[in-house]
Homo-oligomer: A and B are copies of this chain.
Amino acid sequence: MASNIRVPQQERSIEKKNKIIQAGYELFSEVGYYGTNTVEIAKRAGVSTGIVYGYFEDKRDILICVLEIYIDKVYKPLAHIIDHSPQPVDLYRLALSVIDKTIELHEQNAKLHNTLHSLATTDEAVNAQFISLENKITEQMSKQLLKIGIKTDNITEKVHLAMNIVQSFAHETVFDSHSYIDYEQMKKIVCNILVELFK
């Protein structure tokens, strides 16, 4: 069947589409993909159930769009921090800022993060979207780091790795709460790893 999905050109339509994505973003974050139903998305977005299928092929299609704004919400603030870090760069300080911001972001987005990753495993399209968007981010970040004077070999690999480590730590902090872990101490260790990585 040919796609009947409208590409909204009028402003009001774009606005409505965004409202749906925002509602999806919120609900997927709060109760996960399978905990959310389309009626609820529509209700939260202030539109009718039917029209959702005017803008999106199916529920998964909403997820794909949510994924886009998720990546934005998570990585843009980090890019901003890197871009605006005072010169000359104090790597340790920068690492700390990035980590703290990531934790803050993770507190809001952790559920969605996991939901997305889980679906990426099952759903090829979600996975592809994930990868392609991560690509862009890594590239951007690498450039930014160069711009602020951080020069090192294997910059892409290191950026990627650094992002993963920080994500991982943030998740640990926000979620797992192992009582025997001293998270402040752990944070310092992470900072040192990052410093070592980019010095």
Q: Which A positions have Cβ atoms within 8 angstroms of B?
A: 4, 31-32, 34-35, 39, 110-111, 114-115, 117-122, 127, 130-131, 134-135, 138-139, 154, 156-158, 160-161, 164-165, 167-169, 172, 175-178, 180-182, 185-186, 189-190, 193, 196-197
Contacts and interface: CB of A to CB of B under 8 A. Distances in A.
B115 A111 contact: no
22 contacts: A32-B119, A34-B34, A111-B121, A114-B120, A114-B121, A115-B121, A117-B117, A120-B175, A121-B175, A131-B177, A134-B178, A135-B180, A154-B185, A154-B186, A156-B180, A157-B181, A157-B186, A157-B189, A160-B181, A161-B169, A161-B193, A164-B172
A31 B178 contact: no
Q: What's the number of copies of this chain in the assembled complex? A: 4
Contacts of A196: 193, 196
A196 B192 CA distance: 10
Given A131-B177, A193-B193, 17 more contacts: A31-B122, A32-B118, A34-B34, A114-B120, A120-B175, A127-B175, A135-B180, A138-B178, A157-B181, A157-B182, A160-B178, A160-B186, A161-B186, A161-B193, A164-B165, A164-B169, A164-B172
